[in-house]
Amino acid sequence: MLINCAVYQHGEKLADVAPEDLGAHLDQPDTFVWVALRDAGATELEPYRRLFNLHSLAVEDASHGHQRPKVDEYGEELFVVMHLIDWVNGELSLGEVAVFVGPHYVLSVRNGSKLHFLGVRERCEREPELLRHGPSFVLYALMDAVVDRYFPILDILESELEEVEQSIFTPGAASDNIQRLYGLKRRLMLLRRAVAPMLEMLSKLHGGRTPPICARSEDYFRDVADHLARIHGAIESVRETIGTAIQANLSMVAIEDSNVTKRLAAWAGIFAAATAFAGIWGMNFEGMPELKWQWGYPAALGLITTVCLGLWWRFKRAGWL
């Protein structure tokens, strides 16, 4: 469950410590602790709730999961939830990370995802001048990592959409294209449900009234918001393109059905003409014309064939065959 537990002072890492030793560092000036947990439930979070005096509602949300991306403010404490999205075997895998941020601590809880933040910790430790901003910079670094991981997912979806667009006008591919487009739309909506609320919650962390703990890092949160706005704009663009592609594909289905109907109608007309002649000459009346004529049978067949060929040529010229 425990991934990392370290103490930082003046932007420099002091040491990795055991969870039971964290309390000795919480009251030191310019010092904060950074704890990372994975798949932690209420039982695992309870010691940290007592140690950091976490709000019970935030702990409940973090332990239960399935939360909408959000930021809640409890006094000096911030509780942030973000969605983690990964590409696994052609499908999107959804997870969450809940982050508790206080004046002297950062506690991140990752649930339901194999994505990790070890690179984020290493990056922060390589930039002590930025890590001096304290827990708010750690929150920014985690947010930035989450948002950066949305870009490859969006690129995959855009590439898949381009492949489908290239096959829209391929005869016989309409059914497969519809399935791919609706699958693509479903995955895009999953990404949108992660991005749109996060864009809304970031507006609370920069500009206007911001939580005091984030005051020194407003510019960094604004940068994350800019990246997220670009992703959101691209998602909306892809979404509109998918809608257009679906309409075009449905139009192709209608055209293909119309062509089939035309072919069936043309052949039905040809056979109807042949049936009409055969029905007339097949009536059993003694006084019928050409009944005693020696060449009546070949002439009837020739006339039927000529009429059918004429109809075939006319339908072929009209594009029905």
Chain centre to alpha carbon of residue 41: 28
Nearest partner of 274 among 239, 313, 305, 296, judged by Cα: 305
Per-residue pLDDT averaged across 146-161, rounded?
91
- pLDDT tens-digit readout, 269-289: 777 877 777 776 666 656 566
Q: Are 242 and 188 in contact (CB under 8 A)?
A: yes
> pLDDT > 90: what percent of the chain?
29
Kindly state the DSSP code that residue 112 receives in the 8-state scheme: S
Under CATH, what is the fold of the domain 257-318? Methane Monooxygenase Hydroxylase; Chain G, domain 1 (1.20.58)
Instruction: Give the pLDDT mean for 113-128.
Output: 84
3-class DSSP state for residue 69?
A: coil
pLDDT tens-digit map of 197-234: 998 888 888 877 788 888 888 889 999 999 999 999 99
What pLDDT score was predicted for residue 296? 65
Under 8 Å CB-to-CB from 270, ≥6 apart: which residues? 308, 311, 312, 315
Q: Which of 264, 256, 262, 259 is nearest to 170 (CA)?
A: 256
Residues 32-49: tens digit of each pLDDT: 999 999 888 888 999 999
Q: Which CATH superfamily is domain 1-128 in?
A: CorA soluble domain-like (3.30.460.20)
Under a CB-based contact definition with an 8 Å cutoff, are residues 142 and 221 in contact? no
Q: Which residue has the higher pLDDT, 10 or 89?
A: 10
Rounded CA separation 140/147 (Å): 10
Q: How far apart are CA 163 and CA 134, in angstroms?
A: 46
Total-model pTM = 0.78
Return the domain boundaries, the chain.
1-128, 257-318
Spell out the residues 6+ positions from residue 305 whose beta carbon is closer than 8 angstroms to its own.
none
The pLDDT, as a whole number, for residue 227 is 92
